Amino acid sequence: MKRLIVMRHGKAEKEAESGEDFDRALAERGVAEAKAVAEALKSYGVKPDYALVSQAARTQGTFRAVQSVLGDIEADIRKDMFDADSYGLRDIIEAHEAAGDTILVVGHNPAVQYLILDYMVEASASIVDMDKIRAGYPTATATLFDIDAAGRAQYDGLFSPRDLIGA
């Protein structure tokens, strides 16, 4: 893996028909958010060739919205990402680091936010950049990292729907 994109799912419906959090679908706003972030990644010259996606309805919907902009991306849809903490997500990523040059992870907060902060601390990212993440990690936001030959992440940017479309 040469690049890593860690993304939170887009805005979801408040409730699922089943009453289960796992089944909450992506709202129309979430689709727009995910597409805007995908367009920004595309403009930046980034296209994942492999994705790790939580099996929850809203993360799968986010991934489909991203694919509608970026094209086909091989994906591993995983149930274990739904309740994973940041350490669990990192283990999953590390187990799949040879699966592609640019890997997209679509998951849930707070695990996604904590994972990003862990990578940023290791990368000696600026306090200003880390404070943006600490202040909250809005839906459909994605953080991009370059991965060096030793496997160390270097912060390369934040793509937020709030900045892109005001969502």
Q: What CATH number is associated with residue 69?
A: 3.40.50.1240
Domain count, the chain: 1
CA distance linking residue 6 with residue 24, whole number of Å = 21
| pLDDT digits 0-9 by tens, 14-23 | 999 998 989 9
Say what the pTM is: 0.95
Quote the domain boundaries for residue 39. 3-165
Q: How many CB atoms lie within 10 A of CB 90?
A: 17
Dihedral through CA 7, CA 8, CA 10, CA 16, nearest 10?
A: 140
pLDDT score of 123: 87
153, containing H or E segment = strand 153-159
Give the chain's residues under pLDDT 70: 167
pLDDT score of 73: 98
51, containing H or E segment = strand 50-54
